[in-house]
């Protein structure tokens, strides 16, 4: 869906992004991570041509991005920023409706779409449709920002640290929201963050940048089990190596609720003693496993595992 071939961006003599190569598949959640100033925002903005590239090629739907009219890029690629700038004098509905209106959707279609979007993130349409942004909490505003990017149903969404200005609790709840939403809508998402826990939890694959260059691209499991060099190892340092070696499926589900019966699904059943590496193997083909135990079977998701393995700023999540 999106491909970078030897892409560089120079400001004067300095490279902000240097010789970057990657391919984002359709429906993939691709995370770009790295320290401040490493070139994440520049990489993202080159995709929808908010920043022109200096060298190399970027392809969108197999065509060089230079061949698309700018308006088409903006319509086909939703964009979510760290601080959503909603228009303060426009209602939530009017804010979300902008791109569909530009694209000439009928009022009826727009109204139905807005209600559908609000329901997808559990904001009651009757309650929120006609509110002004000032009446919303920070977390609710970010949710609206995500919905606005989704409004005209673009195949691709770019997100630049969309949750980093939120408190840890709202951040976690929006991350969970977005994971659930993505299961339903299966967009191609390029998501920028500097938070390794967020990257491990959200990403199908992660691309780690350092001073404009790619250090490693791989799945969360690959980052944890085979970091390519010391920089990668240091960057994922927050994740507890001891837990990686010692923890079992039983430890992880200890505080999760049990089910009364095993749901009819293709989720594999595992025993309490299953180790992390074995779980990684299951999660390469399934979203959830069922952990058998004395107090009943418990579902364990890939996100539960990464939450367990990482710590957040509010302290231990374990």
Stretch that binds ligand ADP, among 29-37, 57-65, 73-81, 285-293 (CB under 6 A): 29-37
How far apart are alpha carbons 8 and 42 in whole angstroms?
Answer: 10
Binding mask 21-60 for Mg ion (x = CB under 5 A): -------------------xx-------------------
How far apart are alpha carbons 76 and 123 in whole angstroms?
Answer: 25
Q: Which does 242 bind (CB under 5 to 8 A by kind): Mg ion, ligand ADP, none?
A: none
Q: Is 162 in the site for ligand ADP (CB under 6 A)?
A: no
1 touches 205 (CB < 8 A): no
Instruction: Give the shortest CB-207-to-ligand ADP separation in angstroms.
Output: 12
Q: Is 242 in the site for ligand ADP (CB under 6 A)?
A: no
Instruction: Give the shortest CB-187-to-Mg ion separation in angstroms.
Output: 21
Q: Which does 260 bind (CB under 5 to 8 A by kind): Mg ion, ligand ADP, none?
A: none
Q: Which is nearer to Mg ion, 41 or 303 (CB)?
A: 41
Instruction: Give the shortest CB-14-to-Mg ion separation in angstroms.
Output: 16
Q: Which is nearer to Mg ion, 128 or 191 (CB)?
A: 191
Q: Which two three-digit tokens encode residue 142?
A: 């970010």
Least Cα distance to 282 among 293, 267, 271 occurs for: 267
Q: Which is nearer to ligand ADP, 38 or 117 (CB)?
A: 38
Instruction: Give the shortest CB-224-to-Mg ion separation in angstroms.
Output: 25
Q: Which is nearer to ligand ADP, 213 or 286 (CB)?
A: 213
What phi and psi values does residue 288 have, to the nearest 5 degrees? -140, 145
Q: Is 37 in the site for ligand ADP (CB under 6 A)?
A: yes
How far apart are alpha carbons 31 and 188 in whole angstroms?
Answer: 11
Binding mask 96-115 for ligand ADP (x = CB under 6 A): --------------------
How many other CB atoms are found less than 10 A from the CB of residue 299? 19
Instruction: Give the shortest CB-34-to-ligand ADP separation in angstroms.
Output: 6
Least Cα distance to 8 among 64, 66, 54 occurs for: 54
191 touches 202 (CB < 8 A): yes
Q: Is 41 in the site for ligand ADP (CB under 6 A)?
A: yes
Among 28, 40, 95, 274, binds ligand ADP (CB under 6 A): 40
Count, residues near Mg ion per rule CB under 5 A: 2
Q: Is 237 in the site for ligand ADP (CB under 6 A)?
A: no
> Strand pairing partners for 300?
289
Q: Which does 140 bind (CB under 5 to 8 A by kind): ligand ADP, Mg ion, none?
A: none
- State the residues that interact with ligand ADP by CB under 6 A: 11, 16, 34, 36-42
- State the residues that interact with Mg ion by CB under 5 A: 40-41
């Amino acid at each position: 869906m999106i491909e970078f071939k030897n892409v560089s961006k120079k400001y004067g003599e300095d490279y902000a992004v240097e010789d970057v190569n990657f391919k984002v598949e359709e429906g993939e959640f691709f995370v770009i991570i790295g320290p401040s100033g490493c070139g994440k925002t520049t990489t993202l903005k080159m995709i929808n041509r908010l920043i022109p590239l200096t060298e190399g090629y970027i392809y969108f739907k197999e065509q060089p991005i230079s061949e698309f009219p700018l308006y088409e890029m903006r319509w086909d690629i939703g964009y979510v920023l760290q601080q959503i700038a909603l228009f303060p004098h426009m209602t939530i509905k009017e804010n979300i409706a902008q791109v569909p209106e530009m694209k000439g959707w009928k009022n009826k279609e727009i109204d139905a779409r807005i209600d559908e979007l609000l329901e997808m993130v559990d904001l009651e349409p009757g309650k929120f449709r006609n509110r002004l942004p000032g009446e919303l909490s920070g977390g609710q505003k970010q949710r609206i920002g995500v919905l606005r990017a989704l409004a005209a149903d673009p195949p691709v969404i770019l997100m630049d640290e969309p949750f980093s200005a939120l408190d840890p609790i709202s951040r976690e709840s929006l991350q969970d929201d977005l994971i659930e939403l993505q299961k339903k809508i299966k967009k191609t998402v390029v998501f920028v963050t500097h938070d390794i826990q967020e990257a491990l939890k959200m990403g199908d694959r992660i691309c780690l940048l350092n001073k404009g260059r790619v250090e490693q691209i791989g799945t969360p499991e690959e980052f944890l089990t085979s970091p390519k060099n010391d920089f990668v190892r240091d960057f994922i340092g927050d994740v507890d190596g001891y837990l990686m070696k010692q923890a079992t499926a039983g430890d992880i589900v200890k505080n999760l609720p049990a089910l009364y019966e095993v749901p009819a699904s293709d989720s594999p059943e595992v025993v309490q003693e299953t180790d992390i590496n074995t779980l990684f193997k299951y999660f390469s083909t399934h979203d959830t496993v069922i952990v058998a135990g004395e107090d009943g079977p418990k579902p364990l998701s890939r996100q539960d595992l990464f939450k367990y393995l990482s710590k957040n700023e509010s302290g231990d999540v374990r």
